[in-house]
Structure 1
Amino acid sequence: MRKLNDSKEYCSYCGADLQGDLIPEEKQYHYGSTHFTKKIGFSSIEEDRIVKWQCPDCEWKWERE
């Protein structure tokens, strides 16, 4: 089985830790990660995907890469 990403990332504006709670080990493969994220996603109906993220601490928004 491949090693999963631990989702460790930080807000580029305020430096807040955006790594969320641990995903139960038996479900990690389905998420492709070991942890949930604290980022807030903004989706577009037209694009049918998340187009922006927001930090829950400082409310800074940035475009999805």
Structure 2
Amino acid sequence: MRDNKECCPHCKADLQGEPIPKESQKVYGSAHFNRKIGISSIEAGRIIKWKCPDCNKEWDRD
């Protein structure tokens, strides 16, 4: 499974969350949950920004 090591571009906090139970990893396509918060746009119909749960700063998805 993919290891989603990722850090906040602002405060460098580790955004890798808790491990996903082995029996569910295939469904998620990853071994760990992700801590970053997705901010979506109704107009765009998708996540357009991410937000760090530690420093509350946002960055563009793309």
TM-score, with structure 2 as normaliser: 0.91
Q: What's the Cα RMSD here?
A: 0.9
- Unmatched runs of 5 consecutive residues or more in structure 1: none
Q: Tell me which residue corresponds to 2:23.
A: 26
| Residues 1-65 of structure 1 mapped to structure 2, 5 A cutoff | 4-65=1-62
TM superposition shift of 1:24? 0.7
Following TM superposition, the consecutive aligned residue runs of length 4 or more in structure 1 with deviations greater than 3 angstroms are none
How many residues are treated as equivalent by the alignment? 62
TM superposition shift of 1:33? 0.8
- Unmatched runs of 5 consecutive residues or more in structure 2: none
TM-score, with structure 1 as normaliser: 0.87
